[in-house]
Amino acid sequence: MALRVLGLSTSPRERGNTDLLVREALRGAESVGAAAEYVSLHGLAIGPCVECYACAATGGCRVADDFQAILDKLLAADRLIVAAPVFFMGVCAQAKLLIDRCQCLWARKYLLRQPLYPDGPRDRRALVIAVGGTKSKKMFECVGMTMKYWFDVLEVRHAASLFVNQVDGRGDILKHPSAMQEAFRLGAALADAAAPTPERPATVELFGPAVPGRARGGPDGG
C-alpha cells in the first residue's frame, strides 16, 4: 500500500513561499509512488485552545470547528510535510492555533494514558519547511523547538527540515531554484518506504542574500 503523505500549508497567503514549497515537496513524494494530499489552513476556521480542560477527561477537544477534520488527517498520515512562514521568530498564528489545539492529544497520552494507535506505534515521519524574510538564523531554532514537542504528541519522528531565510515577497521562492529542488528531493526522500529511520533530522539551510529585485520586508516569508 502506498504511503499516505499529508502536506500541510499553514501560510495565510495563497501561493505564498511556504505554500509553493510544500506543493513541490508533495510532487517529490508522488514521484516515488506515495499517495499525496495537500491541505491549506488558509480560509479554515480553527480557533484557539480555550484551556477548558475538557480533554483531560475525554482525550478529545470539545471546540467544534475545522480542527476536527484536520486532526483526523494528521493521525491517518504516514508522513507529514508541514510548512510555516516565520512571524516574529516563531511559526505563524495559523500554525500555532493548530498546534495548540493538539493539547487534546497530550491529555490523551499523558493524562489518560491512552495510546494514539491501539495496534501499536507506527512508522510516522515528518518534514518541516520554514521560510523567513530576515537574515536571522535563530528564528529557525524557535520553529524547530515548537515542532519537536508537537511531533512528540503526534508520535511523528522529525526526519528533515528545509529552512530558507531572506525570502519575503509572495512567490519570491520561485527565484530561488535550489530551494524548490531541495523541497522536491526531501519530499521524495520522506516518502521512500525503504529509507532507514533517521536518528536525527537532516537539516538543509539555504541562507544567503535576499532575492534580487525586492527590498526585504518584515519577519515573514509566507
Report CA-CA distances (Å) from 8 to 46, 80, 135, 145. Answer: 14, 7, 25, 18
Q: Which of 220, 112, 118, 131 is nearest to 174 (CA)?
A: 131
C-alpha 130/C-alpha 203 separation (Å) is 11
Q: Work out the number of other CB atoms within 10 angstroms of the CB of residue 14.
A: 12
Q: Residue 195 falls within a domain, yes or no?
A: yes
Q: Grade residue 209 by pLDDT with cuts at 50, 70 and 90.
A: low
Q: Residue 20 falls within a domain, yes or no?
A: yes
Longest alpha-carbon distance in the chain: 54
Give the model's pLDDT for residue 221: 60
Q: Which of 47, 38, 143 is nearest to 87 (CA)?
A: 143
Question: 212: which residues sit within 8 A by CB, 6+ positions away?
Answer: 175
113: CATH: 3.40.50.360
Q: What are the tens digits of pLDDT across the range 46-93?
A: 999 999 999 999 999 999 999 999 999 999 999 999 999 999 999 999
Work out the percent of the chain whose per-residue pLDDT is above 90.
Answer: 77
Give the model's pLDDT for residue 172: 87
Say if CB 94 and CB 10 are below 8 A apart.
Answer: yes
Give the model's pLDDT for residue 220: 52
C-alpha 9/C-alpha 4 separation (Å) is 16
Give the model's pLDDT for residue 212: 46
Q: Mapping DSSP to helix (H, G, I), strand (E, B) and coil, where does residue 111 land? A: helix
Q: Residue 197 falls within a domain, yes or no?
A: yes
Give the model's pLDDT for residue 14: 87
Rounded to the nearest 10 degrees, what angle do helices 17-31 and 177-190 cross at? 40
DSSP states along 21-79: HHHHHHHHHHHTT-EEEEEE-TT---PPP----THHHHSS----STHHHHHHHHHH-SE
Number of domains in the chain: 1
C-alpha 129/C-alpha 126 separation (Å) is 10
Q: What is the mean pLDDT of the chain?
A: 91
Q: What are the tens digits of pLDDT across the range 157-172?
A: 999 999 999 888 888 8
Q: Which of 73, 82, 9 is nearest to 42 (CA)?
A: 9
Q: Decide if pLDDT at 122 tops 60.
A: yes
C-alpha 176/C-alpha 154 separation (Å) is 32
Q: Residue 216 falls within a domain, yes or no?
A: no
C-alpha cell read off for 190: 520522506
Q: Residue 102 falls within a domain, yes or no?
A: yes
pTM for the model: 0.91
Q: Residue 220 falls within a domain, yes or no?
A: no
pLDDT (average), residues 189-213: 83
Give the model's pLDDT for residue 197: 87
Q: Work out the number of other CB atoms within 10 angstroms of the CB of residue 169.
A: 19
Q: Residue 212 falls within a domain, yes or no?
A: no
Give the model's pLDDT for residue 216: 34
Q: Residue 221 falls within a domain, yes or no?
A: no
C-alpha 163/C-alpha 80 separation (Å) is 16
Q: Grade residue 222 by pLDDT with cuts at 50, 70 and 90.
A: low
Tell me which residue range forms the domain holding 24: 4-206
